[in-house]
Amino acid sequence: MEKAYQPSCRKIGSEVYWLSIPDIETKRFENLWPLSNGVNYNAYLIGSQGEYLLIDSSKRIIRADQLLDLIKTVVDPSKIKHVAILHTEPDHSGLIGETSRMLAGAALYSTSRASAFMKTLFNVEPRVLKDGETLKVGTRALRVIELPWIHWPDTMLLHLEDEGILFTSDAFGAFGALKKPVFDDEVDFKSYMERAKDYFSTVVVAHRQMILRDLEKIKTLGLDIKMIAPSHGIVLRSKIQEYVETLTSWCKLSKKRKITVVYASMYGNTEKLANFAAKVLEEKAEVALLDATEDTMNLILSDILDSAGTLFVTPTYEANVFPPISNLLELLRIKKLGEGKLAAALVTKLWGGHAPTLMTSRLKETGYTLFDPVCDYVNYPSEQDCRTIRGFLSDFSEKALQNL
């Protein structure tokens, strides 16, 4: 790990400490999503009357003894009497097995599902906390809020009642390693929200309906929230409402006056058609033009997230849809990102195939409403074809942008 990115600690409340562990070694989150600037793993310490609670740990990007060395900059590890596991996924709990053995006598806590997962993954079995219970640390109380499916079924949040700090696990997270622990009012927040959107549109978007439900549950509880401390990214204190409003819009797949054009090209002809289509669509809306063979899936999904419509432009490959576009469609199906949105497709070919039929069925599987028909064109479309395509795109954009 580069010297600029080292584990560090920051006090964020009265006997509340943020243990920040940056990771610039991992190149793909979940071994799937490219990380241009790494990711951060956040753990927290809360103390009262000589005893401490550790919330989460870290991925095995560091060793357990290194985590304890970081803890020692705050408190003697023997004073840690409680360890809370908010979420089993190994990027947060990867060191819990070794750490718990080093913290002899510390009680482990998690939800019921997380306890079963921890037994399977790490051969430890935390005590079960239930929704609405209170976890005591000295004279301090943390309220347990069980919120499954952000983005696993085992998640809980903890609310430190006396200071209004909500520890949110994967909720309110973002990609990006941190050189030091920082608050939302200490960064370029607009740029930070792009990283948060990147994280949302790849890792948690499939569970957006549950997240909306969970946001409503938090609101109904009437919690006094002065700070949000997630497991990835920065701690929020000044821009909580702005983040919540933006997150809500993402969960609802709120549409901008924007159309995303995603293409792939084998020899340049399909790219030429995609560029033509983008110029036509730019007459009506903001356009994001993305190459499925060059641009990251993070960026593509992030742009599709808030687009009113998506145009797919693909060559035919061995009678089928070109694999980079086919792979994208599968991700869109898994993430359910087509719901409430309009899609259209243009296909190029030389000698035939089934790509138009396949595009039609695959797009419907993603949840998109399909703007028919999906037509194919030999090599590069003729001038007459381009006039037809222009009219097709004009009608497509008009329908996609209705009521915006």
Is residue 164 located within the same domain as residue 276?
no
Share of residues in the chain with pLDDT > 90 (%): 95
Measure Cα distances from 311 to 23, 25, 327, 333, 395 in Å. 36, 35, 16, 16, 12
How large is the greatest C-alpha to C-alpha distance in the chain, in angstroms?
80
User: What domain range is 346 assigned to?
Assistant: 259-398
- Across the range 95-117, mean pLDDT stands at 94
* DSSP code at position 56: -
Q: Is residue 1 part of a domain?
A: no
Is residue 224 located within the same domain as residue 298?
no
Residue type, 2: E
Q: Rounded to an integer, what distance in angstroms lies between the CA atom of residue 261 and that of residue 266?
A: 17
Q: Rounded to an integer, what distance in angstroms lies between the CA atom of residue 106 and that of residue 109?
A: 10
Is residue 245 located within the same domain as residue 377?
no
pLDDT tens digit sequence for 284-328: 999 999 999 999 999 999 999 999 999 999 999 999 999 999 999
- Domain stops at, among 231, 251, 271: 251
CATH of the domain at 322: 3.40.50.360
| Closest residue by Cα to residue 167 from 187, 150, 186 | 150
- Domain stops at, among 219, 251, 283: 251
Total residues found in the chain within this entry: 404
Q: Is residue 110 part of a domain?
A: yes
Is residue 346 located within the same domain as residue 277?
yes
In this predicted structure, the answer to whether residue 3 has a pLDDT above a threshold of 80 is: no
- Across the range 263-275, mean pLDDT stands at 95
pLDDT tens digit sequence for 135-151: 999 999 999 999 998 88
- Across the range 32-43, mean pLDDT stands at 96
CATH of the domain at 184: 3.60.15.10
**Would you state the pLDDT for residue 352?**
81
Mean pLDDT of the chain: 96
In this predicted structure, the answer to whether residue 1 has a pLDDT above a threshold of 70 is: no
pLDDT tens digit sequence for 89-98: 999 999 999 9
**Would you state the pLDDT for residue 2?**
66
Q: Is residue 180 part of a domain?
A: yes
Q: Rounded to an integer, what distance in angstroms lies between the CA atom of residue 89 and that of residue 110?
A: 12
Q: Is residue 404 part of a domain?
A: no
- Split at pLDDT 50, 70, 90, the class of 379 is confident
pLDDT tens digit sequence for 58-76: 999 999 999 999 999 999 9
Q: Between 351 and 37, where is the model more confident?
A: 37
- Split at pLDDT 50, 70, 90, the class of 350 is confident
Buried b (16+ CB within 10 A) or exposed e, 233-270: bbbbbebbeebbebbeebbebebeebbbbbbbbeeebb
C-beta neighbour count of 148 within 10 angstroms: 18
**Would you state the pLDDT for residue 351?**
84
Share of residues in the chain with pLDDT > 70 (%): 100
- Domain stops at, among 251, 285, 315: 251
